[in-house]
């Protein structure tokens, strides 16, 4: 139901503003906080995932499969239907789906990287601040390069080209974050698991 509501809300918003780009400027702010509602990150607050006799990498991949599938379906519905209503170019729709989906991938990577290096042994308010700052820091280079490239190119395809660059950066930055989080799920006695 949350996925359906998000998709419907996104479609209505895009139609009201007459462009898919409004979703790329508004929804990521909500996604920063909604990414933790999937099974993957919820599993981190249960001892069971830490005791599964598999590598940390495999546990991260499989525990987040639901989030990736859900996000991809949400985005395909939201951008696809809104794009058809607005008669947007198919390539523009595909790139928008890629940008938003890869942003979710980056958010997951940032979450695991923060957990790996902080052990989540900080107050929830401080952890939220660190998380928000880390996301902004990870996105900044991609945004700067995308804007600079779009400005240099100019013309009707400039924005689309900028989005392609941004999606490529999200993929790279997210992969680096996951690489940095290597071994994050090796211990079952991490500070974040304490209940008292």
Phi-psi region at 89: left, alpha or beta (left = phi > 0; alpha = psi -120 to 50): beta
The model's pLDDT over 78-99, given as tens digits with 9 standing for 90+, comes to 999 999 999 988 999 999 999 9
pTM score of the predicted model: 0.82
The residues, ordered by sequence, that sit 6+ positions from 135 with a Cβ below 8 Å of its Cβ are: 32, 106, 107, 110
Handedness of CA 171, 50, 185, 44 (dihedral sign): positive
pLDDT tens-digit readout, 17-38: 888 888 888 888 777 777 655 5
Rg (CA), the chain: 18
Q: Which of 102, 94, 77, 93 is nearest to 9 (CA)?
A: 77
pLDDT at 36: 57
SS3 annotation, 114-126: HHHHHCCCCCHHH
User: Cα–Cα–Cα angle for 163, 169, 175, nearest 5°?
Assistant: 140
- Three-class DSSP category at 89: coil
Distance (Å) of CA 128 to CA 46, 68, 108: 20, 22, 14
- Show contacts of 114-123: CB within 8 Å, 24+ apart: 115/44, 115/181, 115/184, 115/190, 115/192, 116/180, 116/181, 116/182, 116/183, 116/184, 117/180, 119/190, 119/191, 119/192, 120/190, 120/191, 120/192, 121/191, 121/192
pLDDT tens string 126-158 = 677 788 888 889 999 999 999 999 888 877 788
Give the residue extent of every domain in the chain: 2-193
Contact 196, 129 (CB under 8 A): no
User: Residue 42 pLDDT more than 60?
Assistant: yes
């Amino acid at each position: 139901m949350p996925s359906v509501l998000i998709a419907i809300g996104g479609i209505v918003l895009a139609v009201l503003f007459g462009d898919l780009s409004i979703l790329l400027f508004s929804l990521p702010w909500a996604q920063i906080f909604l990414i933790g509602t999937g099974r993957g990150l919820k599993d981190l607050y249960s001892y069971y995932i830490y005791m599964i006799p598999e590598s940390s990498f495999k546990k991260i991949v499989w525990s987040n499969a639901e989030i990736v599938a859900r996000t991809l379906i949400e985005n395909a519905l939201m951008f696809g239907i809104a794009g058809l209503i607005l008669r947007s170019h198919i390539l523009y729709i595909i790139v928008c789906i890629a940008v938003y989906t890869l942003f979710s991938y980056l958010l997951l990577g940032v979450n695991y990287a923060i957990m790996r290096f902080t052990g989540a042994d900080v107050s929830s308010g401080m952890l939220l601040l660190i998380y928000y700052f880390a996301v902004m820091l990870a996105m900044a280079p991609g945004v700067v390069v995308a804007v600079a490239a779009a400005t240099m190119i100019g013309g009707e395809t400039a924005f689309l080209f900028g989005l392609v660059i941004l999606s490529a950066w999200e993929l790279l930055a997210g992969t680096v974050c996951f690489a940095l989080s290597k071994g994050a799920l090796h211990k079952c006695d991490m500070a974040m698991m304490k209940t008292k």
